[in-house]
Amino acid sequence: MTTSHYIAGRWVEGQGSDCISVNDPALGQPFAEFMAASVTQVDQAVAAARSALPAWKSTGASERAAFLRGFAEQLGQRREALITLQMRNNGKPRHEAEIDLDDAIATFTYYAELAEQLPSKNRDVPLAVPGFTARTRLEPVGVVGLIVPWNFPLVTSAWKLAPALAAGCTVVLKPSEVTPLIEQAYGQIADALGLPAGVLNIVNGKAETGAALSNHNGLDKLSFTGSNSVGSQVMRSASAQCRPVTLELGGKSAIVVFDDCDVDQAVEWIVAGITWNAGQMCSATSRLLVQDGIADALLPRLQATLENLRVGNPLTEEVDMGPLTSQAQWLKVASYFATAREEGLQCLAGGKALDRDGWFVSPTLYADVPKDSRLWSEEIFGPVLCARRFASEEQAITEANESRFGLVATVCSADLERAERVADALEVGHVWINSVQAVFVETSWGGTKGSGIGRELGPWGLSAYQSVKHVTRCLG
């Protein structure tokens, strides 16, 4: 690959100093490489977006909606190729890759519908003082930089790109250097649809490229999903420019299981919350709080289920869980296994890297983990579950909220009144009750505390790319 950057409606070769190597994590081997975009090329991408902005934001809402529906249709037409690429570059099992693609399609379809409703958003504002009229206009915020992660690349980019385009913004998208290939589909689709040049630009690269984009004074907004360490740098860049920022960062989420639960059903919800995408989710419910009355029955069943999961190469095997996506993440998770041994944690399942090619680790369960353990408080980003017992509802709420993060939580209970009560008390942005982590485009996504700023999805996702203007007129 050479022409891996999409700038001003053209595919161009990278001119940066970094060589990006794209790996198959199931084999631990590269299968593509190309040069990163240079700082100058980031400048060119921002300039192209700036040049395209006046015409794009003046485009009728129905025309923008048609382009968004075109993205959804074109994604569907590329279905098998994109699913295979997710499996090969991310290590996702087929059923997960299929859900990712369906999520991206649903996102573009949803924001096409919201785009068509935009004219009705302009409305008169009643005033208490006579002699004046006022009206509200919702306008695109302008040129936006979108920086997306490697764990859900096709999905996270859709969550940002679709509402930004619906609002009338122009975009510079920077994919992760770990999984840069799948976002190329958005540039290919833009070409196929005849999207005006400069409305969508894609620049690939490592830290240098990301810093060039996040520091660029030509942006009107920045939206970032990724780690807290990089997010803090992005926030500093935004503060220097005094521009708005959306941050979707880390999590250390709790799943609370009360003793009136069906054990088998609870195990299903717990396993899904920690092994989906090999636990590489900011929303992974990696802290299990289980009530005393069910713990002795649930933990052995959970141990057996984790030990029996099929872990392997999704391209060649029928698997429940694939590899970790990068060697760096594999090394990080392995370091937490070492920490667990140093801390003397009770390991009921896993706790080790697998002795095979590729970046595989075993689904892992530690029991009776003390609250001062690093594994209880730090985001691991792997299939590592830490369990603690609790006696009362009040204790469960307190311990679930004892975290610097506040992204999501799950509550499992046959007493729905209690489940709703606990959900209301949890200091997070999204709560599931008796469910796997089903995310719908109509709902919001984002957290409290150290899990970020702002919301994606739903009407809130569109609002993130709009500014509010009031026009007041004197009648006298």
Locus of tokens 């609370």: 256
Q: How many CB atoms sit inside 10 A of residue 123's CB?
A: 11
Using only C-alpha atoms, what is the Rg of the chain? 23
Residue 450: alpha-carbon gap to chain centroid: 15
Assign residue 330 a region: left if phi > 0, alpha if psi is -120 to 50, beta otherwise?
Answer: alpha
C-alpha span between 81 and 234 (Å, rounded): 33
C-alpha span between 392 and 287 (Å, rounded): 17
Q: Two tokens at 448? A: 């409290």
Q: Two tokens at 318? A: 């029928």
Locus of tokens 């196929």: 192
User: Is 282 part of the annotated catalytic residue set?
Assistant: yes
The number of residues making up the chain comes to 476
Task: Give kind and range of the element (H or E) at residue 12.
Answer: strand 10-12
The three-state DSSP-derived secondary structure of 294-306 is: HHHHHHHHHHHHH
Residue 85, SS3 per DSSP: helix
User: Is 248 part of the annotated catalytic residue set?
Assistant: yes
Backbone angles phi, psi at 384, to 5 degrees: -120, 110
Q: Which candidate in 261, 282, 386, 412 is catalytic?
A: 282
Locus of tokens 């369906």: 102
Locus of tokens 């694939």: 322
C-alpha span between 330 and 353 (Å, rounded): 8
Residue 241: which residues within 8 A CB-CB, separation 6 or more?
215, 217, 219
Q: Which candidate in 96, 177, 248, 456 is catalytic?
A: 248
- Residues noted as catalytic: 248, 282
